[in-house]
Structure 1
Amino acid sequence: MKTYLRILQFAKPYSRFVPLYSIYTFLGIIFGLFNFTLIIPLLNVLFGEVGQEEAALMATTKPEFSLNIEFFKDFFNYYFGQIILQEGREGALVFVCVMVIISVFLANLFRYLAFRIVGALRAHVVRNMRQTVYKRVTELHLGYFSNERKGDLMTRLTVDIQEVENSVVSTLTVVVREPISIIAFFILLFNMSVELTLFSLILLPLSGGIIAGISKRLKRKAKEGQNSLSFILTIIDETLSGMRVVKAFNAEPFILSKFHDQNNRYARIQRSIANKRDLASPLSEFLGVSVVAGLLLYGGTLVLNQESELSASEFITYIILFSQVLVPAKAMSAAFSNIQRGLVSGDRVLQVIDTKPMITNKPNAKVLPAFRHEIEFRDVAFAYGDKPVLQDINFRIEKGKTVALVGPSGGGKSTLADLLPRFYDPTAGAILIDGHDIRDYTIESVRAQIGVVTQESILFNDTIFNNIAFNKTDATEEEVIAAAKIANAHEFIINSEDGYQTMIGDRGGKLSGGQRQRLSIARAILQNPPILILDEATSALDTESEKLVQEALTNLMKNRTSVVIAHRLSTIQHADEILVLQQGRIVERGTHEELLEHSGLYAKLTQMQLTV
């Protein structure tokens, strides 16, 4: 119930939907009930139980208005009696038939109008939920995505939200309308016969208990099914991303077997869910008809023995009305079974929404002023959980200078660089820009002054132009071309099929590694940030591409403050200062020449590369 109510929070503002839906639903139910109450006068006319004397008695006194069922019953009988006196039994039959047609039309009209509102509500809830989840995903820190399977996140954003729409939001009509219908039916039934209605209420809870037991088992299976589906999507995502490796290692049988196992597991769970879900509706119908049969036996005996206050036509109408209670009851049991799967999906979606971002703006965060003097890392430390990654990091970078980070893999170089744009916050110490602790300023204003070029070129399945102008919607064609020229990318772009409007495929798959990297550099140039982070930007390139990219990087770094991470030490020989990191600590620092003279770790790494 808690999950259901939280999902309904996404329907706000309720004023757009609830008032009109309530009115349409109420009117639809009232006219629907009126259809069945017309059965009594219809049967009385057909069986000749209402003659001239009875009609004259019915039409004697016009009832005074009062808001209860008796008034509407007497009011109808008054006019019905007058029609019999004036038009005869055939005229009365025509009147009843016309009233039935009008009543059915109005009942279905209001039902349709209610459905239209629910359709708008469903789209509104799903849109708000998907928007909230996607927004939260973009707010989460990078470490979250290292711990979670991408396929599982995609499942929650797509399949789970779709399941919420199909199983939860779609049943809102049932959850609201059907209980009201049942209450209205029972008010009418109690008005007709208290004894028979009480008898039926003794039998009905039995079917409800059985259906609840089935639904409980259904929810457990639904949870297993959604977890299995997320594994399937993870396998698909990894297969598509790593197809080159799969084929290179002849691993098609291996991944097919892996997929086959998960696919079979999901199919078994789905069969089990379908069996339990499909059992709910026929079982509820069987139990409901059994109750009707018991009621027919008990009530029929009373009528035959003339021990009931109901006439034969009233008893038939009572049975018909009671049988109609089974329609909303059956719809509720089916909806209750279907909703369990949606609630499981809702829980999975809400788990993402409830995940708190670790990197957030302080309540009174200000906009970071333009960078003017220096960046300082002061006693900085960082740890993933209980595992220390960086310790006692102290250094300064003056504006316009370049600091290079080198050292063995796993030494903390990339983590150190990730602290500057606040991908993570240090667990101790502080990072200051012009003396300002960056944690006191908005994340957006800090990152607006920093450009990042990574080893893996992150591009999007869009045109070359849009990839260079990423998030700079006001960029002109001249600005994009100028950035591409500085990045040594203009020549290969104009030789592409559609020039700057060439689609580059998923993750830039239509381009070479060097071309992708130069587009990333062009993107950084266009943003024109005063601070640069270059994370092994040339390590994955061939010699020719490395030369072009290195030239582009040199152009990019002009008049900018740069933090460069490099395994190829030849690329950072001209850095103003080189920091050598080992096991999360700065073990050496100085210029290229100073570190070579020191004959320490840097000199050893340089010698190893020269001998390769």
Structure 2
Amino acid sequence: MESPGGEKSNNSDGAVDPQQPENQPGFKDFVRIFHYADRLSMFLNILAFTCAIASGVALPLMTIVFGGFASKFAAFAGGSTDTGSFQSIVNEYVLWFIYLFVGRFVVTLTANLAITVSGIRTTRALRQAYFEHLLRTEIWYYDTAKDSSPAVQISTNATRINQGIAEKLVLVIQGLAMFFSSFIVAIAVQWKLALITLSVVPAMFVAIGICLTIDAPIEAKIAQIYSNGAALAQEALSSIKTVQAFSSQDGMIEKYDEYLAEAHEHAKKKLIPYGIMSGTIYFCIYAGNALAFWQGYRMFLSGEIDAVGSVFTVVFCTVIASTSINLFFPQIPAITSAIGAAAEFFRIMDKPSELDPLADSGLKPDKCIGAIEVENVSFSYPSRPTAQVLQGLSLSIPAGKTTALVGASGSGKSTMVGLLERWYVPTEGCITVDGTDITKLNTKWLRSQISLVQQEPVLFQGTIFQNVARGFLDSQKDLPYEEQRRIVQEACKSSYAHDFVQALPQGYSTYLGERGGTLSGGQKQRIAIARSIVSDPTILLLDEATSALDPYAERVVQDALNHVSSSRTTVMIAHRLSTVKNADNIAVVSNGRIVEQGTHEELIALQGNYAALVKAQNLHGSQERSQKEFSLEETGLSIAAESPLFDPTGDEKQELSDKSKSTDKRSIWGILFLILREQKSIYRHLFVIAIGCILAAGTHPGQAILFSKLIEVFTPNGEPKSGSANFYALMFFVIALGNLVAYTIVGGLCIMISQAVTRNYRSELFRRIINMDIEFFDQRENTSGALASNLLTVPNNIQELISVNIFVLLILIISLFASCGLALGYGWKLALVMIFAGLPILMGAAFIQLRLEAKMNDNNEARFSDSASLAVEAVSAIRTVSSLTLESDLLTEYSQNLRGILRRSMKTMITATTIHALAQSVDFLVMALGFWYGSRLMSSLEYTTEQFFVVFMSVLLAGQGAAQFLAGAGSITRAKSAGTFLLDLRDKVPRIRVTDENKDKGPDGKGGIALDNVEFSYPGRMSPVIQGASIQIPSGQFVAFVGHSGCGKSTLISLLERYYDPTSGEIRLGDQNIQNFSPKLYRAQMSLVQQEPVLFQGTVMENIAQGALSEPTEDEIHEAAKQANAYDFIISLPQGFNTPSGKQGTSFSGGQRQRIALARALIRRPKLLLLDEATSALDTQSERIVQAALDKVGKMDGRTTIAVAHRLSTIRDADVIYVFGDGKIIEVGTHTELQQQRGLYWQMCLAQSLDKSVEKGPEEI
């Protein structure tokens, strides 16, 4: 629990000390992952590990059978065993092979199924724990933390961890079990020879240990860089309209590429360690074979070994140990990647939360009355600790009364909301609720007593009903659905949202996109208001709650708010003073202090700051009617006709979703060859790698020949063959040297080219996505979180394949064909029987397994994408989440999203693991058949010893290679899915783009804008939003669009920005259709200031400079800030123009963000200035100054200005005002002309009049 002053909370980095040393990633992080396994998962892990060990032991056990057979065969070849006895012995050994087949099939199936289920369950628990930590983390961490969008990491890091603790881990355990049991068997058979052979093992594991020690920190650093890049991408994609409006795609791509370049530089450090490790491992194993062969023959001659089977078993065990390396070595990068991912998870999870919203600590009074006392509170934001926002502020907020805070933008009004919500704690003073310091109250209880409507409303993906129901208290969540729906509808009626919701095709079941992007700003704000009042809160906080509403809607909603406020404590923050005039107490805040207090009438009588603000906002005074006597219906308009921006419903949503799905007709080989064809820069490296692969692939055929010679050398039928033995031992050593060279090349260069290739694809993915049409981002599956996650996982999956995996698989394929060719050349009869007994099964198993795993992988990725989107959305809107106390609900939803994955994929998983187990075990049946049939061929003297053993060993090693190829099926299917995503994205060519035909075509800056009978419907909706709009805007005019919320004003701005093209009709600039222009050159002529200003991570200077067409000077940036009335507050900051804006500009108030956004627009010096509620977040004084600046710059250089406004004071001097209703133009004229018409515009002006005591005459308007 913090002290009442909360000093501890306000260090420079929130709860996190940026200088705090961080532990280096290591194996401890890998072990820690298993702390998240529950009892069932731990049991499954133990079962899987045990079965994996048993599966690995099966092949070394086979060498005992094989060795025994070799001894019997030597005796038969030497004439000491007759044919009948030999056949009987062979049949015995054949049965042992069948037993081994059954045993290995069962344990392999069990191991793979158990580890897969356990891996999903463990990573699910880890995902949930990580997401829970993000929700528990205090708000100020997100303002100041250097971790970029930690929610984006959930999907990609969890996927890497799952591979490392499941599929890859069981292969490592199986391979290591095979490796060590080979030597254990060898020791049991001939301990002295085995120990001599084992002398090479320490060198091998020293190489592995050194590599992992070097690689884990590098991998963790690379993972962090990539996640930072993904955070940049997520920020850009979530604000894609701003990015495209300022043609910032190239700048964002450049920044993203800088992250990729940094990661690539770190990845280069992996080349030498991996090369040395790869070469050393394979050299040691094959050098051990040479040593065993050489020493074994010497011991045979000296009588220490009396049977060839002992030598054969020991040497063959070293061969099995060498093949086991191909099983576990390719998995090492996945293990180190999992360690890096886990370290990144734990680095964030180990940061303590000082304001835990889910903690049970703190007082929970039985009742909340709502009396608030703010006592001498001072406060500085953690990101700017030297700049005091509040300075000794004291304020009494009586229970059941309405208190309003007004004042200049940035004066500290919204900061009070953050303190009341306990997002922050004061540096001095305290805040009490009902006499209790809020730092002593339970955080969740406190927030459950408060409802907040923010200046920039945040809605979530889901239906309208679900969004409003987010405001339910725990007790309301248990009500029957019908009762919940009634409560939601009542809240929507009170917030003036019910009519437009009912008018939608799906009504309250209408799906809202990311950030509620399918609704207009006013519609979103009304839904947010409904959400805030649905719980009937004790305390209501309204932070510019009606700023996005048109005047009439504002008046109706304000009446509703006044009604619901009558019985509760209400704190209102407003710039539109018409919304606070009925407040019980109005406090004027200036520079963090309260300078005036009183009722509206009392403050007017003072003729001070408040009276000046009121006078500035009056539009119309002496009207002959009461403000309450007009109604929208007099104009013939219906609010129910308001249209959402985009409404994919029913079949239309399914159609959009279907379009995004892969056709599943792309082959992995086609994707792989496409990758290789495109990456011409790595061809010289591929040539060198190909040589290395061919060298390495010759190992198996060479071994087969040498093993046949081993039998000949040890067959006791003549003089000692020391010369031959030494020569063949030397050949084993030559093979070892060949592998040293081959795998050093392959291991090192594979890391390098995989990083280079995936760097290119990461860049291409981001470039393609960020340049997509806006309607691409409107689709339900293309949320910024899902796309940012794909930017990490898709290249990672491609990299997983084309790193060591693909080239080890290539070596196995070459070896497979070479071994089969050798077998056919030496003895075609036995070769054909063994090949066609085993390879069709293996190939069929490979095909089926790849299909099944691809299907399962695609399904799981889609489901994980939903959970990733939920996490990213929740963290991006963390203030809304905390205010609504949604943490527990979101954790439940997240958990439910993840829980269905295992259940729905179980059938496919069982089938795939069964096929895999069969493929891993079938070589025992092939060996049984080979022994049985080969023995008959030898008994009949049709085959020589050399023929049999060359054929048998060739096919055996080929089968082992094929089985190991199947072990990499997971990498192949993930790469196929990733490649399909990339190629599908390439097929989606944006319609609004720069082409060869238009790249040099841009406006000449002359001529006006003309809309000729423009109609428009959003994709997925048939009903038009704009109907037959025809507008002429001469160059240099100031034109305004007004009308009720959702009537199509902002849609016209979208059409002018070319976010979309008209359904029919055309828009011309000068005498050219704007569709003929390059979008980049066209947008270079205009600037946009949106209703909800978007800032990006970076400094204030960088954000303003983003709007410039070329690199701006510091003076130009300062001038733009002055024009936007932002200069004074910027230079008052400790870091001035170098002040970080924070994530989504959270370091600043709404008004400050809007002024910075305005400066960004003005630095562009546009010919066309588009203002979509450009001053809606400004206080009256700032608004007038900014408006004067806009009036001034609007007339510079013949600039045309088009403004969308609800605040009619900002557009009364417009040359022409267009009044919209139901997508049509219903009134046109100047302010005076429209006043005289006494239509809708006149009524809107009337709604914004404040007080008759300060009214102006009509001539002053």
AA matched with 2:1226? V
Partner of 2:257: none
Asked whether the 8 Å contact 2:835–2:955 carries over to 1, the reply is no
Distance 1:43 1:6, change over 3 A: closer
Q: How does 1:360-375 map to 2 (within 5 A)?
A: 360-361=993-994, 363-365=996-998, 366-375=1000-1009
Distance 1:89 1:162, change over 3 A: same
Distance 1:16 1:603, change over 3 A: farther
Residue 831 of structure 2 is aligned to residue 197 of structure 1: yes
Say which of 266, 282, 293 aligns to 2:928: 293
Distance 1:110 1:273 in 2: 38
Partner of 1:336: 969
Distance 2:975 2:731 in 1: 41
Partner of 2:1026: 390
Partner of 1:26: 694
SS at match of 2:1148: coil
Distance 1:6 1:208 in 2: 20
Distance 1:503 1:324 in 2: 61
Residue 1225 of structure 2 is aligned to residue 593 of structure 1: no
SS at match of 1:388: coil
| 1:402 shift after superposition | 0.5
SS at match of 1:587: strand
Distance 1:544 1:611, change over 3 A: closer
SS at match of 1:527: coil
Partner of 2:79: none
Partner of 2:715: 47
Q: TM-score, normalised by structure 1?
A: 0.86
Distance 2:1194 2:666 in 1: 54
Distance 1:49 1:590 in 2: 116
Name the stretch that deviates more: 163-172 or 408-417: 163-172
Partner of 2:1165: 528
Q: How does 1:54-65 map to 2 (within 5 A)?
A: none
Asked whether the 8 Å contact 1:487–1:556 carries over to 2, the reply is no
Asked whether the 8 Å contact 1:29–1:181 carries over to 2, the reply is yes
Q: Please give the per-residue CA displacement for 1:144-183, whole angstroms capped at 9, x wherever unaligned.
A: 2122333322232222332233257764325533222111
Name the stretch that deviates more: 290-299 or 351-360: 351-360
AA matched with 2:986? I
Asked whether the 8 Å contact 2:1169–2:1201 carries over to 1, the reply is yes
Distance 1:310 1:175 in 2: 33
Partner of 1:103: 735
| 1:30 shift after superposition | 2.7
Distance 1:110 1:508 in 2: 53
Q: How does 1:86-485 map to 2 (within 5 A)?
A: 89-147=721-779, 148-167=782-801, 171-174=805-808, 176-204=810-838, 205-266=840-901, 281-303=916-938, 305-311=939-945, 314-361=947-994, 363-365=996-998, 366-385=1000-1019, 386-470=1022-1106, 472=1108, 474-485=1111-1122
Distance 1:128 1:7, change over 3 A: farther
SS at match of 2:889: helix
Asked whether the 8 Å contact 1:155–1:229 carries over to 2, the reply is no
Asked whether the 8 Å contact 1:517–1:549 carries over to 2, the reply is no
| 1:128 shift after superposition | 3.0
SS at match of 1:581: strand
**Aligned length, in residue pairs:** 574
Distance 1:513 1:446 in 2: 29
SS at match of 2:1166: coil
| 1:546 shift after superposition | 3.7
Partner of 1:38: 706
Residue 1158 of structure 2 is aligned to residue 494 of structure 1: no
Distance 2:1189 2:961 in 1: 70
SS at match of 1:532: strand
Distance 2:866 2:667 in 1: 24
Q: Calculate the aligned-residue CA RMSD, in Å.
A: 2.7
Identity %: 29
Asked whether the 8 Å contact 2:696–2:811 carries over to 1, the reply is no
Distance 1:541 1:8, change over 3 A: farther
Asked whether the 8 Å contact 1:514–1:546 carries over to 2, the reply is no
Distance 1:548 1:319 in 2: 91
Distance 1:252 1:103, change over 3 A: closer
Partner of 2:674: 9
Partner of 2:632: none
AA matched with 1:509? T
| 1:126 shift after superposition | 2.1
Distance 1:544 1:334, change over 3 A: farther
| 1:513 shift after superposition | 0.8
Name the stretch that deviates more: 547-556 or 438-447: 547-556
Distance 2:906 2:1103 in 1: 45
AA matched with 2:1071? G
Distance 1:10 1:605, change over 3 A: farther
Partner of 1:514: 1151
Name the stretch that deviates more: 384-393 or 560-569: 384-393
SS at match of 1:574: coil
Distance 1:543 1:428, change over 3 A: same
| 1:21 shift after superposition | 3.4
Q: TM-score, normalised by structure 2?
A: 0.43
SS at match of 2:1095: coil
Distance 1:3 1:556 in 2: 58
Name the stretch that deviates more: 492-501 or 231-240: 492-501
SS at match of 1:610: coil
Distance 2:1052 2:821 in 1: 72
Q: Please give the per-residue CA displacement for 1:302-356, whole angstroms capped at 9, x wherever unaligned.
A: 32x2433222x55344433322112320122222344223323433343333222
Asked whether the 8 Å contact 1:407–1:567 carries over to 2, the reply is yes
Partner of 2:1219: 580
AA matched with 2:1204? I
SS at match of 1:430: strand
Distance 1:187 1:606, change over 3 A: same
| 1:137 shift after superposition | 1.5
Partner of 2:1207: 568
SS at match of 2:1219: strand
Distance 1:233 1:469 in 2: 32
Distance 1:192 1:3 in 2: 35
| 1:424 shift after superposition | 1.6
AA matched with 1:399? S
Distance 1:294 1:31, change over 3 A: closer
SS at match of 1:250: coil
Asked whether the 8 Å contact 1:455–1:539 carries over to 2, the reply is yes
Name the stretch that deviates more: 505-514 or 416-425: 416-425
Q: Which runs of 5+ in 2 are unaligned?
A: 1-664, 1252-1261
| 1:561 shift after superposition | 1.1
SS at match of 2:1248: helix
Distance 1:266 1:460 in 2: 35
Asked whether the 8 Å contact 1:171–1:339 carries over to 2, the reply is no
SS at match of 1:262: helix
Q: Which runs of 5+ in 1 are unaligned?
A: 52-87
Name the stretch that deviates more: 563-572 or 471-480: 471-480
Distance 1:471 1:491 in 2: 20
Partner of 2:126: none
Residue 1242 of structure 2 is aligned to residue 603 of structure 1: yes
Distance 1:261 1:547, change over 3 A: farther
Distance 1:503 1:22 in 2: 50
